[in-house]
Amino acid sequence: MSIAINKLTKTYHADSEFPVHAVQNVDLEINSGEFVAVMGPSGSGKTTLLNLIGGIDTPSSGSVMIDGKDIAELNERQLIGFRRDHVGFIFQDYSLLPVLTALENVEFVMQLQGLSSAECRRRATELLTKVGLAAQMHKVPAKLSGGQQQRVAVARALAPRPRFVMADEPTANLDAQSTAELLDIMQQLNSEEGTTFIFSTHDQRVIKRAKRVIVFEDGQLKQDQCQ
Amino acid sequence: MMLFKLGWRNLWRQKRRTLITAFAIALALFLSLFMRSMQEGAYQNNIDNSARFATGLLQLQHPDFSDSQSIEDILPGSDEFIAAAKSLDHISFILPRIESFALAAAGDKSKGVAVIGAVPSLEQPYSGIGDKVVAGELLKDVDEGVMIGQGLADWLKVELGDELVLYGQGYRGQTAAGLYPIKAIVRFPLPQLDKRLVYLPLSSAQQLFSTGEQVTAWVLHTDEIAQVARVKQQLIQAYAGQAVNVRDWLQMAPQMAQQIAMDKAGGVFMMYLLYGIVGFGLFATILMMTLERQREFAVMLATGLQRVKLLQLIVIESSLIALLGMLMGLALAIPLIGYFYFNPIELTGDTAQVMLDMGWEPIVPMSVSMQLAVDQLLVVSLLMLICLLYPLWRAYHLDVVSGLKGDQHG
């Protein structure tokens, strides 16, 4: 599943006196299985770009083509289905459902796909084991460390077997060891499951691990290089 | 099932808030149900008491009788005529009566009076009229004498054994005149009856007014007041095609019906006031539950939850709080109402004396009715639905991007 971005622009408060050009005329192509870091200072438009690619936000102009299909043409129901089946999200603050255990959090997104309970349980257990949380899978998020919660979030993002994962500053709240462990896990899953990973970050530890680094500044793509 | 589990667990994230809200609903439901049960019990008791001493709960009359009150507008008094009513369920008493007017005179005093001709042996178990006799004894079914109210006896200055002349108009313009010994003086609980009632056996009244075997009304009493409307419809069907008017106590005692309606409206107003106050609490809780989780909702939408499922989740959470409140309210109300149903509140002091003077038991009985409970549960459900409207609207229009940024708290 390839992503082709053509002249993508997102402007907030377009009708006001001070419009905010979060993303401006970006052309980009990301191929299946890539491990991409989008870096740049705060407010450079990284998160907006990820939101546009993930179908959370809609572009002001330009297009995001997934396998040749413009996601702007999808209605809200189709868009939610697209996100559910093809996109995994990892958020900076983990954003797990606090009343569900690690296992249930991972199962939840698969249940949205209509998978059977047994299949959800099998896949969730498998993923949590892969991210090293076999012993913690029945704990609620509050009983887990930040690093462990982010690993649950990774498992949750990968549970519905998405074609690509959007990770918005996934290591921002983690210490060095947790960051290293998380990156190991994500790299492993990237190669094992063939899932495309796209990070927004300004964490050098993440950038060093990325196979491709895209530099963003003032909403514009300034640099795109493979490492 | 997944949403239900999530909703149930979400309730206990703010345990204290959930319990306080549920308890507020429970208290409102308990107070309203208790108040309404007491009100309905009192109304039923009053209606029943009044009906037994006056009109009955239902009457079969000639179609013109309600307007004319004339002895000309009468019905057959035969078993054959009343057989249709007797065949219906839920009718506990069927009493033939002649109700008319005459001039009563004794010595140099006279007064216009209401004359009731009835069968004492049938009336006694219905109204307990024999218990109100203060002098003499209850008439027999075939008797030459009359019973009069204490108030009337005082007005006419007559005593037991004195003779009373009744003079009026009989059936088909005949003169109704008779001389009757006073066999009993009765203290009727209602003053307007006590001052103007003359009571004589049905056969004597039929002879006085020359009605033959006919009567002016058949008085009927249902097992329960709630059955009046249904039995009335059955009677209308049973006597369709005949010159019979079926009237209920609401038509025969409209003042009492109005008084009850006004009193009931006051009670219902208080009930809605109570629910209104509780409603604000419920609304605040549901709104807070929605607003404080905008980011969580945005994450759920981002990860593939359809909006309709999100709304379902909010409805489930609110319903569970309401259900919890309802169960707590019923758990409080049912035993207490049950207790007071079997052990009615006994009135004391002046209020009790007034009721005793009326010939009524000085108690406030409880009404045990499934309908009352169902009404309260419907009100709580409706309240919850109203409280849900705005939070649902907010959730439906949640912008995922703003929600993820945490911008949608206002």
Sketch the domain layout of chain A as residue ranges: 3-226
Write down the H helix ranges in B69-187. Answer: 79-86, 120-127, 150-156
Residues B246, B262 within the same domain: no
Judge whether residue B409 has pLDDT over 60.
Answer: no
Comparing B7-16, B154-163, B187-196, B313-322, the range with the smallest average pLDDT is: B187-196
Q: Which of B303, B306, B311, B397 to mutate to test the interface with A (most CBs of A within 10 A)?
A: B303
Note whether B401 contacts A57, CB cutoff 8 Å.
yes
The predicted model gives B205-210 an average pLDDT of: 94
- Model confidence at B364: pLDDT above 90: no
Number of domains chain B contains: 2
Partner A contacted by B299 (CB < 8 A): yes
**ipTM value for the complex:** 0.89
Rg of chain B (C-alpha set): 31
- Kindly state whether residues B43 and B65 are assigned to the same domain: no
State the pLDDT confidence band at A105, using cuts at 50, 70 and 90. very high
**Residues paired with A39 in a beta bridge:** A201, A215
Enter the tokens of residue B132. Answer: 């109100």
In angstroms, the separation between the Cα of residue B24 and the nearest Cα of chain A is: 25
- Residue B410 reports pLDDT greater than 50: no
pLDDT at A145 > cutoff 80: yes
If you average pLDDT over every residue of chain A, what do you get?
90
- 3-state SS assignment for residue B11: helix
Q: Please check whether residues B243 and B152 belong to one and the same domain.
A: yes
What mean pLDDT, rounded, does chain B reach?
A: 90
Over residues B367-390, the pLDDT tens digits come to: 888 888 999 899 999 999 999 999
* CA nearest to B402 within chain A: A57
Q: How confident is the model at residue B53 (pLDDT cuts 50, 70, 90)?
A: confident
| B275 within some domain | yes
For domain A3-226, the CATH superfamily is: P-loop containing nucleotide triphosphate hydrolases (3.40.50.300)
Q: Where are the alpha helices (DSSP H) in B157-253?
A: 191-194, 202-208, 228-238, 249-252
Section B226-234 average pLDDT: 92
Q: Which of B251, B269, B296 is the last residue of a domain?
A: B251
Q: pTM of the full predicted structure?
A: 0.75
Indicate if B272 and B203 belong to the same structural domain: no
Domain boundary among B251, B274, B304: B251
Cα–Cα distance between B402 and B303 in angstroms, integer? 15
| Predicted confidence (pLDDT) per residue in B75-89, tens digit | 999 999 999 999 999
Provide the residue range defining the domain that includes B380: 2-50+257-405
Task: Please indicate, yes or no, whether residues B39 and B121 belong to a single structural domain of this protein.
Answer: no
Chain segment A120-139, per-residue pLDDT in tens: 999 999 999 988 899 999 99
Q: Is the pLDDT of residue B358 over 70?
A: no
Q: Residue A76 has what pLDDT?
A: 85
Tell me what pLDDT residue B407 has: 62
pLDDT of residue B369: 85
Closest to B6 (Cβ–Cβ): which among A84, A95, A99? A99
Q: Which of residues 301-330 of B touch A (CB under 8 A)?
A: 301-307, 309
| Residue B410 maps to a domain | no
Of A23, A12, A26, A24, nearest in space to A45 by CA = A23
Cα(A158)–Cα(A151) distance, rounded to whole angstroms?
A: 11
| For residues A186-208, average pLDDT | 87
